[in-house]
Amino acid sequence: MLKITDLHKKYNDFTALRSLNLEVGKGEIYALLGQNGAGKSTTINILLGLLKPTSGDAFINGVSVTGYPDRVKKDLAYIPETVLLYPNLTGLENLDFFSRIACFEYSREQLSGFLNRTGLQETAHHKMLGGYSKGMRQKVGIAIALAKDAKVLLLDEPTSGLDPIATAEFTEIVRQLGQQGKTVLMATHDIFNAVSVASAIGIMKQGVLVQNLPSKAFTAEELQELYLKTI
Ligand code: ATP
């Protein structure tokens, strides 16, 4: 579902990505770990078509991100650390607005259904977004991804700044997304979260994917030890 082939990215003379190869299948959750500056966001921005690679390519559901960025965008949803939404619209209205932008029109019941699938309490659906917590905003971000029927979700440090309960809730939502057949690529610093939800884990160092591991083979402590040895 997501395939990255020999991706390189240079910013002037600085090489941010070197020969990155990666495959994530349907329903798989891949966690990308790495220090600040390792190249995780650069990878996500190339997948989103926001950056052009220096060489190499990536494919979403078989479609090239460099060749057909607009076609690829239909299958992608992006959930950054802070989901940007309209503070003066309710959660439901935000979802309606962004669904329409993606050319989907839903009834109120259907929109509420998407929000319910993310665990956002019904009482919050009609409240202004400006009063939402970070975790609640992320749930609306996930609901938008569900409403636009995205096949691949790109998450950039999704649990950063969430309290432990919101992190556990978010982890559970991501697990369910995988079970529903969504493919997830998640850049994160949260080793515990990566071990608990990901099917595979990559560790990046200075633009190189230096480890590509099945998550089930590790406890969080073991992964942390390996991470510290690797970077
Ligand atoms: P973080 O965890 O801090 O988000 P990251 O792994 O996402 O880090 P990137 O943001 O992809 O890392 O950055 C990779 C490298 O590329 C860094 O050294 C960064 O300084 C550099 N870089 C990123 N964007 C640019 C740019 N527009 N111009 C020059 N260098 C850049």
161-198 pLDDT, tens per residue? 888 998 999 999 999 999 999 999 999 999 999 999 99
Find the mean pLDDT for residues 21-30: 97
Residue 214 has pLDDT above 90, yes or no: no
d(CA 228, CA 231): 6
CA of 221 to the centre of ligand 1 (A): 27
CA of 50 to the centre of ligand 1 (A): 14
Find the mean pLDDT for residues 21-47: 96
User: Within a domain: residue 53?
Assistant: no
Which percentage of the chain shows pLDDT scores above 90?
A: 88
Our mutation pick for probing the ligand 1 site, out of 12, 14, 78, counting the most ligand atoms within 8 A of Cβ, is: 14
Residue 81 has pLDDT above 90, yes or no: no
Ligand 1 atom closest to the CA of 35, numbered from 1: 2
Residue 82 has pLDDT above 90, yes or no: no
User: Within a domain: residue 61?
Assistant: no
d(CA 18, CA 4): 12
Question: 106 lies in which domain range?
Answer: 88-148
Q: What angle do CA 157, 162, 164 make, to 5 degrees?
A: 120
Find the mean pLDDT for residues 87-109: 96
Strand 29-34 relative to strand 55-60: parallel, antiparallel, unpaired?
unpaired
Q: Which residues of 136-158 are buried (b: 16+ CB within 10 A; e: fewer)?
A: bbbbbbbbbbbbbebbbbbbbbb
CA of 142 to the centre of ligand 1 (A): 25
Residue nearest to atom 13 of ligand 1 (CA): 37
d(CA 82, CA 157): 9
User: Within a domain: residue 193?
Assistant: no
Phi, psi torsion values for 143, nearest 5 degrees: -60, -40
Residue 206 has pLDDT above 90, yes or no: yes
The answer to whether the CB of 72 falls within 8 A of the CB of 92 is no
User: Within a domain: residue 49?
Assistant: no
User: Within a domain: residue 194?
Assistant: no
Total number of domains in the chain = 1
- Record the pTM: 0.94
User: Within a domain: residue 126?
Assistant: yes
Distances (CA, A) of 161 to 2, 138, 171, 202: 28, 12, 14, 22
Phi, psi torsion values for 46, nearest 5 degrees: -70, -40
Other Cβ atoms less than 10 A from the Cβ of 36: the count is: 7
Residue 231 has pLDDT above 90, yes or no: no
User: Within a domain: residue 106?
Assistant: yes
User: Within a domain: residue 169?
Assistant: no
User: For residue 26, what pLDDT is reported?
Assistant: 97
